Chains A and B, each alone.
Chain A
Amino acid sequence: MSDSPAILEARDVSRSFGPVEVLHGVEIALRAGEVHALIGENGAGKSTVMKILSGYLEPTTGELLLDGKPVRFSSSEEAEDKGVILIHQEFNLAEQLTVEENIFLGRELKRGIFLDKKRMQTEASRLLSALETRVSPNARVSDISVSDKQMVEIAKALSRNARVLIMDEPTAVLTNREAEVLFRQIERLKASGTAILYTSHKLDEVARIADRVTVFRDGARVAAVKAGEMNEDQMAQAMVGRELSNLFPAKSPMADRKTVLAVRDFDVENIVADASFDLRRGEILGFAGLVGAGRTELMEGLIGVRAARGAVEIDGKKVAISNVKDARRLGLVYLTEDRKGRGLVLTQGMRENLTLLALDRFGRYALDAKAEDAALTKAISEFDVRAPTRDVRVGNLSGGNQQKLLLAKTMLAEPDIVIIDEPTRGIDIGTKQQIYEFIHKLAASGKSVIVISSEMAEIIGLSHRVVVMRSGRITGILQGDDINEDQIVRYAMGLEGRAAA
């Protein structure tokens, strides 16, 4: 790979918010036909630099060069006009408009004073088929899948003649198969000379698709290498700044073999059928499977937020759970994968969020504000929540700290059985380690834990036993030496699959 001249370059760029400098003189150069991966822990300054490159923020000092000439973007629109486009992690699409309307939003093609619907339709179709996407230009965005939305975002960027495409964790919301499609499109864009900046927490992905890797830590660039000069372990080490020898704590033996939760022939809506499994005291039970296998739905059925049929026993007693409160009373809690949509009230403070699930512990008729404050103080130190002030809105916390707060909220309900759905999604590696340690301790203290995860390493590293699901059914329950990637994938893909009892 020759060092072609950079299309967009940041030179010695710093950025301060108020008196706090969050980005310290960083450099990054995006070249045509190159995929440049930017990695770092949450809060390392990745988003800030992406926003600066795409005109959402201005650098406090330092300069941007576009085609070698200094440039100032006064707004993201100006950056877009010059071909620099940021695709947000949470998409910027108008849900009620069609695909075609979204692609041309703000830059509609016109004939006279009227919209040139025909030309926009053809153009949209052309862009979408170039992206191997079968979604119709007339489909309403609210009706299409997440991966299709991603493709619509890319089509939108292409219609604006993107020369530089900045993608903020594009695969965080995609299944493996959808990610494959995305990678093919990235290859295609690369071949056509687009410069791509790409962030991800998934280092295997980075190792696979990036031509160049830049590592940020605490707002500074700590490494910039060509692909192949760093393996995944070295990347992780550079991000964290210390050796991550044991990401997963050693599995402790199960306290005893007593079954605390028995689920038999459990059906959830039309999604999950005939699910049966046991959970033992002190056990970490992993749930593996492809996204969409019905794992989340099964658990949501268990805690009563989805309609379900089947027999559930807790500590040997038959129970009926029709809402979250029933589940809580029986010592069963569920920690959602959807932190922002279902887990935390982003517009409220940490105290209100912390105590919402176990609010009855703070007074039945009148709330005890002092006790709530004390609970927050305890949660902050116990879970190592790092917040600028105690009354910060939860939406302003980083993903890792939100997850810790959500854990604290759930644990405040003093559960015996904890279901954790995607415990580390979108979280940096240092915090991940803390969360693994926490789950481990929880089980060691005699609680029982169910972990749903799409990260194979997490499932294998944590679980005593692993339940594998495929298309709404449990296809296998693995233990001991059978817990390995190969076996899990075979059951998850349906290569091997008895209807496990």
Chain B
Amino acid sequence: MTSETATIAPARKGFRIDFHVWGPVIALLALIALGAFLNPNFLSYGNVTNVLARSAFIGIIAVGMTFVITSGGLDLSVGSMAAFIAGVMIMVMNALVPSMGVGWGVIFVGMAAALVVGVAAGLVNGLLITQARIEAFIVTLGTMGIFRSLITWLADGGTLSLDFAVREVYRPVYYGGILGVAWPIIVFALVAIIGEVIMRKTPFGRHCAAIGSNEQVARYSAVHVERVRLAAYVLLGVLVGIATIMYVPRLGSASSSTGVLWELEAIAAVIIGGTVLKGGFGRVWGTVVGVLILSLIGNILNLANLVSPYLNGAIQGVIIILAVVLQRQKKTER
């Protein structure tokens, strides 16, 4: 079939800025500039650490959510799942204090428990979606209610508190760090970097995008569609577990109000970052930018007396809708 050798040039790399790619970054830079302009303390070490450490929980979860959404799925249960994992983790640690004593041993068992419950929860969601073939929205809407109600039941309607002595040992996992960088920030950064590499450089990332674009094509191209889908939900479950491990030492407690609306914040961050809600295209670094945008809005409103912090949600909502509108404009151009 060789005729004349067709030479096809790569697309011109001009100086034109692709807003679809750089839009979120520009928005983030604008927010940073605005924050610095409104309050000199905005760029202080304390504030930056605070903002980043608080974003870490949602951020770690949102990285996992990027894979689920890219493969054409959705997970509404992550907020409740985090609360449930936190509750189980606290109960396990409290139960082990009499036999194991207070120390890192107990905490490591607690962390292991968090990861195990995370994997299990991811498996439940994933298996119901891939094996029972129920829509992801329905499955995770159901498990969202189940996890939320389980934590309320475990806490007997109140709050589960971690043993005070254990809490003292565990505290540095949230408040400590190395070289002045807090642990949650380090973990978030690692998760994000690994996630970005997995998405762009591995067969798993490529398979997620292919499944999200067209499941049939993936199936006919020797992709194990169910296995990849399941893996995405389990990965998300593990990341929810990691996020909870970083979260528990912050307050040392879990209740029915833990992690409320985290799922929506995580989904919003993913979408703002340029991942397509219908699946087929995902960008982990975009998700990180999305998370930072959402938390900076809250931070700036708190620091500056320009707009009431109570309007935080409204401004976030506007940003989310704007992000999707920008995505769509790009699509019609193509």
Contact = CB atoms under 8 A, between A and B. Distances in A.
B3 A325 contact: no
Interface string B202-225: 110011011001101111111110
B8 interface: yes
Nearest to A367: B201
Nearest to B213: A345
Contacts of A366: 197, 201-202
A383 interface: yes
A493 interface: no
B214 A346 contact: yes
B334 interface: yes
A352 B207 CA distance: 10
B233 interface: no
In this complex, which of A323, A347, A367, A393 has the most chain B Cβ atoms within 10 angstroms of its Cβ? A347
Given A384-B2, A390-B11, A359 B217 contact: no
Contacts of A441: 1
A334 interface: yes
A343 interface: yes
Contact of A348 (B2, B209, B334): B209
Contacts of B241: none
A389 interface: yes
A305 B201 CA distance: 28
A452 to B, nearest CB: 15
B222 to A, nearest CB: 4
Contacts of A435: 1
B186 to A, nearest CB: 23
A352 B210 contact: yes
B219 A348 contact: no
Contacts of A341: 214, 216-217
Contacts of B10: 389-391
Contacts of B9: 389-390
B11 A389 contact: yes
Contacts of B11: 389-391
B209 A352 contact: yes
Contact of A336 (B197, B203, B220): B220
Given A346-B214, A393-B334, A324 B221 contact: yes
A385 B6 contact: yes
Given A389-B8, A389-B9, A360 B203 contact: yes
Interface of B is mostly: loop
Contacts of A359: 203, 206-207
A311 B173 CA distance: 59
A140 interface: no
B6 A347 contact: no
Nearest to B334: A393
Given A323-B222, A324-B220, A347 B8 contact: no
A408 to B, nearest CB: 9
Interface string A212-229: 000000000000000000
A291 B117 CA distance: 51
Contact of A305 (B1, B206, B220): B220
Contact of A382 (B2, B209, B221): B2
Contact of A364 (B203, B213, B222, B281): B203
Nearest to A341: B216
Contacts of B220: 305, 324, 334, 336, 342-343
Given A344-B217, A345-B218, 16 more contacts: A324-B222, A336-B220, A341-B214, A345-B217, A346-B214, A348-B210, A352-B206, A356-B223, A357-B221, A365-B203, A366-B201, A367-B203, A385-B6, A388-B8, A389-B8, A404-B1
Interface of B: 1-3, 5-6, 8-11, 197, 201-203, 206-207, 209-210, 213-214, 216-224, 280-281, 334
Interface of A: 305, 323-325, 327-328, 334, 336, 338, 341-348, 352, 356-357, 359-360, 363-367, 369, 380-391, 393, 404, 409, 413, 434-435, 437-438, 441
| 10 nearest A-B residue pairs (beta carbon) | A324-B222, A325-B222, A356-B221, A345-B213, A357-B221, A342-B216, A389-B11, A438-B1, A342-B220, A381-B5
